[in-house]
């Protein structure tokens, strides 16, 4: 009997019950947060939702600079939510003193640090900067 696994389009990588895709490596497109979100939606996905430290570590493996994830407080200041509109915030990995609205309250989109010193920690930043990003598709889609 065949075990039917959910199938994902080519180019996606599996981690547990999710598949994910990095954009923004080398000559690949980079995008501001809202463009990145729409790009992921166009693939049938969402910006990455990170539920635990293992997922955070898995995403980190391939990253270079700051990279968009799906967390923002764009809807309600200081209320961070995942952009898929349904996933609860089960885990956060803020860098020391973050989130801090360093650039003003419009600093609402979260990127993950990949540099050696800030390995995998999160930072609220202005949403309009073009950065690499991570999309995800959950199983069952």
Ligand X SMILES: *[C@@H]1O[C@H](CO)[C@@H](O)[C@H](O)[C@H]1NC(C)=O
**Chain contacts with ligand X (rule: CB under 6 A):** 32, 34-35, 95, 102-103, 107, 113, 118, 123, 125, 127-128
CA dist 85 → 7, 21, 74, 117 (Å): 23, 20, 12, 32
Binding site partner of 13, from Ca ion, ligand X, none, Cβ cut-off 5-8 A by kind: none
Q: Is 123 in the site for Ca ion (CB under 5 A)?
A: yes
Instruction: Mark 103-122 with x for binding to Ca ion (rule: CB under 5 A) and - for no binding.
Output: -----x--------------
The answer to whether residues 43 and 81 touch, using CB atoms and an 8 Å cutoff, is no
Nearest to 62 by CA among 114, 109, 27: 114
Binding site partner of 55, from ligand X, Ca ion, none, Cβ cut-off 5-8 A by kind: none
Q: Is 73 in the site for Ca ion (CB under 5 A)?
A: yes
Give the whole-angstrom CA distance, residue 89 versus residue 16: 18
CB closer to ligand X out of 5 and 117: 117
Scan residues 13-72 and list those touching Ca ion (CB under 5 A).
none
CA dist 88 → 8, 82, 126 (Å): 23, 7, 23
Nearest to 70 by CA among 53, 87, 58, 57: 87
Q: Least distance in Å: CB of 54 to ligand X?
A: 22
Provide the binding-site residues for Ca ion, judged by CB under 5 A.
73, 98, 100-102, 108, 123-124
């Amino acid at each position: 009997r065949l075990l039917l696994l959910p199938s994902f389009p080519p180019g996606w990588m599996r981690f547990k019950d999710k598949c994910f895709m990095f954009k923004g490596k080398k000559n690949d497109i980079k995008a501001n947060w809202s463009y990145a979100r729409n790009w992921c939606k166009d693939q049938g996905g969402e910006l990455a939702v990170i539920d635990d430290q293992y997922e955070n570590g898995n995403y980190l493996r391939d990253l270079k600079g700051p990279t968009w994830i799906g967390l923002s407080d764009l809807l309600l200041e200081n209320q961070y939510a995942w952009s898929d509109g349904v996933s609860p915030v089960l885990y956060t990995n803020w860098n020391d003193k973050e989130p801090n609205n360093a650039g003003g309250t419009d600093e609402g989109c979260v990127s993950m640090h990949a540099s050696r010193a800030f390995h995998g920690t999160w930072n609220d930043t202005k949403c309009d900067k073009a950065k690499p990003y991570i999309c995800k598709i959950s199983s069952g889609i």
